[in-house]
Amino acid sequence: MSLSLFALQLINGVEYGLLLFLVASGLTLVFGVLGVLNFAHGSFYMLGAYLAWWLSERTGNLLLAILVGLPAMALIGLLVERLAIGRLYLRDHLSQVLLTYGLVLLFNELQRALWGNDVHGVATPKALSFTIPLGEAQTWPAWRAFTALCCIAVAVAMRQVILKTRWGMRVRAGASNAEMVEALGIDVRRVFSVVFSAGTALAGLAGMLAAPLTTVYPGMGESVLILSFVVVVIGGIGSIKGAFLGAMLVGIADTFGKVLLPGFASAMVYAVMAAVLLWRPRGLLGPAFEGR
Amino acid sequence: MTRRILLLAGALALGAVAFSGDRFWLQFLGKAMIGCILAMSLDLLVGFTGLVSLAHSAFFGLAAYALAGVTNRLGLVNPLLTFPVCLLAAAAAALIIGWLSLRATGVYFIMVTLAFTQMLFYLFNDSPALGGSDGLYVVERPVDSRAAAYVAIWAALVLAYLLLARILRAPYGRALEGIRVNEQRMRSLGYPTRRYKLVAFVIAGALAGVAGYLDATLYGFVNPAQLGWRQSGLILVTVLLGGKGTLYGPALGALLLAFIEHYGERVTEHWNALIAALVIAVVLFLPRGLAGLVQGGRRA
Amino acid sequence: MTLSRRALLGAAACSSLLTRRLRAATGARLKIGLLLPYSGTYAALGHNITDAMKLAATEHRGKLGGREVEWVAVDDESDPAKAPANVNKLIAGEKVDILTGPVHSGVAMAMMQIVRQENVLTIVTNAGAQAVTGTLCAPHVFRTSFSNWQVSYPCADVMLEAGHKRAVLMFWNYSFGQESMAAFKEGYSKGGGTVVKEIAVPFPNTEFQANLSEIAALKPDAVFVFFAGAGAAKFVKDYADAGLQQKVPLYGSGFLTEGVLAAQGAAAEGIKTTLHYADALDNAANRKFRESFKKATGRDADVYAVAGYDTVNTLAQALGKVKGDTGAGKELIAALEATRLDSPRGPFRFSKAHNPVQDVYLRQVKGGKEVVLGVAMKEAEDPAAGCKMGK
């Protein structure tokens, strides 16, 4: 493999990893803070994508659609948390897996009933519809660059919020010891609602950014779901930094795996996860305690 | 006592169907009973040992593929030869995967079992030599007639129940429940908890393999779709519906799901939403499942 | 063991045969089973095939061979694991007279296993797996859609005539993709073309960036691919985004653009595909069909709908000859084999292996629409490798 091809594949891998991070960050946040295994995370990704399509068809502008769609996704997350997830905090893993599995089926039917079975394309905004040449053979669409930048911005913003703000402190406290936090007079339930809402919005944002690239179709959340679980587990549940590392690892391993070991490519990601867990049973940067 | 009588009556009723000769019911109930075996064996892990495994369908599929392999490539048809081979294949896989997975705990354990199930799925799905995504035919089945296959499945179901019930009544079974309640305490009492969990995992996996062997016998068709996490998820759903930790509950759950899937389509095109609503309702309002309704209690 | 099995099957077949003849004689309804996906990624195809079949039935005033049609639909969810149970639901449970479907070839394989033992007339309305009219062919099994060979083989000559001697192949690595590539390579190497690289993508993976970078580095004359549905939509967009749309001409079987042309937008401009149907086909049957379909469903007809439409028209013709007697065995099969239709796709008839013998068209995307450039292969007939019927 020539150096330029290597560099190109590296860019491919990093870019893929960044989008994976965006999806996985919401998942790891929800799991780390709320202790809930949310199988419906992929459905939020799908909902975000469908919203982006539906709104951009009506407003004619994808960026506007995203601006409107994000608060909508946060609201949906809030509703789901109040009505369903909120009842699961004291329950076991099996109940969580199955309730959210039921939610997946429900969201799938909802999507079919509202928007039908066809595949839909989403147009990128005119301002971002150009391409950037990468070497002599290939070009890179501006929208991908924009998406990558958004993911990085989100990562930085999350880090700032969680480490440097009061809210972030509450979130971290709630993750370590919810009972103590409550005893200190902070409304843990509200913290949980906000976190779940944020997680939903993150998944939705990923769907909206990916919509022009992947097109919008029924069942589009499934493959993303499994991969985001893998990323979260590799990185360590509850660790955003871990999710970032995990996403990069998965993105690059998958990309190079496709080119160097094509027959083994699909299983590659799972093999990596199994290997990481066997070496570090709590993921790369997982919690030190035997909590969840 | 009434529960015992009801279960006995149910078993006899199922057995009587073997004489009906009805092609549809033999096949439909045969498949449902295979689901019961899967549900009960998973309950050993989920309900009694406290291990949520997503690898269950992997052992089911492996045994089925093993049958296809030995029959198509080696020409073995006699069930006395093929059954032990397939059972051993499933048990061996459960031993390896269990040993590796049990190094992790809690949700990480769940994820490692998921990883292995997916790896096996892709192994069969992506290899044209192993049939690929279209699957394989079993060139000649161990038993030919549908009625004979039905009787074999029925016998396996009854024996599996009796075996599991026996194990759970024994000190080993009680120890498993202790591990579910508080593993650290069991360890401090001197129990080799990891070994106990591994043995449970292998027993469950072997029984899943029995179910897989019977499925391939009934239909003569194996496909990677039987191995993925979706199928594992469905088995978990049956355990939940029926009520985990009761052994007979999951079996009921499997029967219920089979009937809902069959008749649900006649009721509405959005029958998936029906199942979804049922699952959500059971999780939220009926955490002990069907068995909870029957007031059975927690002993097998 | 084999003897008793034959006896049992024979008895079963006879009894079901008698039941069918009895039902036909008394004018009982004609039960047509539909094993199709109504949920999941392929739901659109399932609905189009079903609606086209119902449209054709209404054109025959709801009766085929003098018997009123009763539809029995089962959602196969494109899940091969549930397929044997679903097939048995239709054959043993509902006791359908005719079985039709499916879309997914894994489901088709499960179906073929059972159907070959039961004596139920089966019409495959989509799955293009070679084996259906190849190694697994049977007298009572017909296909009205296509075979994977038919839609890929002609593209080789098209590319060679355009002067593309060095090609890269990229495809989903399952039976549909594998058979498409094998057929293409057969024609391509015969004409002197060289395949520079074969890129097999695990199905249904849609991350193409790594492979597109490979193609860009290889600089072939042209690229021949197999993808379908949402994956095809993404592939075409990624291909254009990577700057390859202008540099390396893209070819494929028609599924690359079927149903997803709108979603692909400008990225699809210039793509040439070969398929046994095109929306823009200019014949009377097609114009009428598209108009009726649009009026009945509000959607545009496509290649999948055509198969459903032709299935019912075929049945109408054949059942008319045997007066609706689905138990008529040899006569019914002979009647089906003699089918001649003026289908929306052009002239339609069956080969000896019961696969359609049909023209394969060369289409190109121009100005956002699929335009027919001409006939890529006239009366393409699948070689039916491994089929022992009619030989």
Cβ atoms of A73 and A205 closer than 8 Å: yes
- Higher per-residue pLDDT: A285 or C161: C161
> CATH number of the domain at C2-146+282-350, please?
3.40.50.2300
Choose which CATH entry (3.40.50.2300, 3.40.50.720, 3.40.47.10, 3.50.50.60) describes domain C149-275+362-380. 3.40.50.2300
Give buried/exposed letters for C238-252 (b at 16+ CB in 10 A, else e). Answer: bbbbbbbbeebbbbb
Report residue C97 as tokens.
């007279």
Q: Identify the pLDDT of residue A289.
A: 46
CB atoms within 10 A of CB A289: 8
Q: Is A258 on the interface with B (CB under 8 A)?
A: no
Residue A285 within a domain: no
Quote the minimal CA–CA distance from C373 to chain B in Å: 34
Inspect the interface and report whether the beta carbons of B236 and A237 lie closer than 8 Å: no
Asked if C260 and A119 come within 8 Å (Cβ–Cβ), the reply is yes
Query: Start-end ranges of CATH 3.40.50.2300 in chain C?
Result: 2-146+282-350, 149-275+362-380
pLDDT band for position A243 (cuts 50, 70, 90): very high
Tokens standing for A97?
């897996």
Confidence of residue B171 (pLDDT cuts 50, 70, 90): very high
- Contact: B52, A112; criterion CB under 8 Å: no
The verdict on residue A145 lying in a domain is: yes
Q: What is the pLDDT of residue B233?
A: 87
CA distance C173 to C178: 6
In whole angstroms, what separates CA A38 from the centre of its chain?
Answer: 12
Output DSSP code: residue C348: E
Q: CB–CB of C308/C50 below 8 Å?
A: yes
Q: Do C81 and B226 touch (CB under 8 A)?
A: yes
Which of A94, A20, A49, A67 has its CA nearest to residue A245?
A: A20
User: Of C145, C192, C155, C166, nearest to C314 (Cα)?
Assistant: C145
CB contact (8 A) between residue C200 and residue A262: yes
Whether the CB of A123 is below 8 Å from some CB of chain B: the reply is no
Among C8, C74, C84, the residue with its CB nearest the CB of B145 is C8
* C chain contacts of residue A258, beta-carbon cutoff 8 Å: 201, 207, 210-211
Q: What is the mean pLDDT of residues B24-44?
A: 95
Decide: A204 and A47 in contact? Cβ < 8 Å. Answer: yes
From CA C303, how far away is CA C291, in angstroms rounded?
A: 15
pLDDT (tens digit, 0 to 9) for every residue of chain C, 391 residues total?
344 444 444 555 555 566 666 666 667 889 999 999 998 888 899 999 999 999 999 999 999 988 999 999 999 988 898 999 999 999 999 999 999 989 999 899 999 999 988 889 999 999 999 999 999 999 999 999 999 999 999 999 999 999 999 999 999 988 899 999 999 999 999 999 999 999 998 887 888 988 998 899 899 999 999 999 889 999 999 999 888 999 999 999 999 999 899 899 899 999 999 999 999 999 999 999 999 999 999 999 999 999 999 999 999 999 999 988 888 788 999 999 999 999 999 999 999 999 999 999 999 999 989 999 999 999 999 999 889 886 5
pLDDT one-digit tens code per residue, B126-139: 888 898 888 999 98
Q: Cα–Cα distance between B43 and B165 in angstroms, integer?
A: 11
Segment A147-175 mean pLDDT: 86
For residue A124, tell me if it sits in a domain: no
Residue C234 has its nearest CB partner, among A8, A108, A213, at A213
Listed in sequence order, the DSSP H helices in A86-141 are: 93-115
Q: Which ranges in chain C belong to alpha helices (H)?
A: 2-25, 43-59, 83-88, 105-115, 148-161, 175-190, 209-218, 229-241, 244-247, 261-264, 284-297, 303-321, 330-337
Residue C67 near residue C321 (C-beta atoms within 8 A): no
Residue of C252, C275, C324 whose CA lies nearest to C68: C324
Is the pLDDT assigned to residue B107 strictly greater than 90? no
pLDDT in tens, B220-265: 999 999 998 888 988 999 998 899 888 899 999 999 999 988 888 7
Confidence (pTM): 0.88
- Cβ distance of B119 and A101 shorter than 8 Å: no
Whether the ω angle into residue B142 lies within 30 degrees of 0, i.e. cis, is no
Cβ pair C268, C369 in contact under 8 A: no
Which of C202, C241, C265 lies closest to A266 in CB terms?
C202
- Cα distances from B154 to residues B10, B17, B147, in angstroms, run 11, 10, 10
| Beta carbons of B279 and A98 less than 8 Å apart | yes
Closest CA relative to residue C356, chosen from C237, C247, C275, C249 = C275
C98-101/C121-124 β-pairing: parallel
In a domain, A157, yes or no: yes
- What's the gap in Å between the CA of C301 and the closest CA on chain A? 13
Place of tokens 């055509």: C306
Q: Number of structural domains, chain A?
A: 1
Q: Compare CB distances from A274 to B46, B110, B115 and report the shortest one's residue.
A: B115
Distance from the first to the final alpha carbon of chain C: 30
The pLDDT, as a whole number, for residue A287 is: 67
Please give the Cα distance from A93 to B216 (Å, whole number): 32
Whether residue B262 lies within 8 A of chain A, CB to CB, comes out as no
From residue B288, how far is each of B33, B70, B274 by CA, in Å?
A: 21, 42, 20
Q: Give B297's pLDDT tier (boundaries 50, 70, 90).
A: very low
Predicted local confidence at residue C26, as pLDDT: 66
Predicted confidence at residue C89, as pLDDT, reads 92
B39 touches chain A (CB under 8 A): no
pLDDT for residue B278:
87
Measured CA to CA, the distance from residue C98 to residue C322 in angstroms comes to 15
CA–centroid distance for C288 within its chain = 22
- Name all chains with 3 or more CB-CB pairs below 8 Å to chain C: A, B
> What distance in Å separates the CA atoms of residue C171 and residue A82, rounded to the nearest whole number?
45
The CATH code of the domain that includes A245 is 1.10.3470
ipTM: 0.87
CA neighbor of C230 nearest in space, from B69, B80, A213, B266: A213
Tens-digit pLDDT profile for residues A165-213 = 888 887 777 777 777 777 887 788 888 899 999 999 999 999 999 999 8
| CA pair distance A16, C61, nearest whole angstrom | 55
Q: Tokens representing B261?
A: 């899937």
Judge contact between C294 and C302, C-beta under 8 A: no
Q: Report CB contact under 8 Å: C113, B133.
A: no
Closest-CA distance of chain C to residue A287, Å: 32
pLDDT at C164: 95
Find residues 197-216 of chain A whose CB sits inside 8 Å of chain B.
Answer: none
Amino acid type, C313: N
Chain C contacts of A218, Cβ < 8 Å?
Answer: 40-41, 43
Structure tokens at C351: 């080969």
Chain A residues close to B46, C-beta within 8 Å: 94
A113–B108 C-beta distance less than 8 A: no
The residue type of B274 is L
Give the integer Cα–Cα distance in Å for C294 and C285. Answer: 14
Measured between CA atoms, how close is A92 to chain C, in angstroms?
Answer: 29
Residue C44: both structure tokens together = 């659109």
* Confidence at residue C61, expressed as pLDDT on a 0 to 100 scale: 93
Please check whether residue A130 lies inside any domain of the structure. Answer: no
DSSP at A90: T
Quick one: tokens of A259? 């080119």
d(CA C240, CA C226): 16
Give the domain range for residue A255.
3-114+140-279
Question: How many Å apart are CA C265 and CA C248, to the nearest integer?
Answer: 18
Neighbours of chain B (3+ CB pairs under 8 A): A, C
Contact of A281 with chain B, judged by CB distance below 8 Å, is answered with yes
Q: What is the pLDDT of residue B299?
A: 46
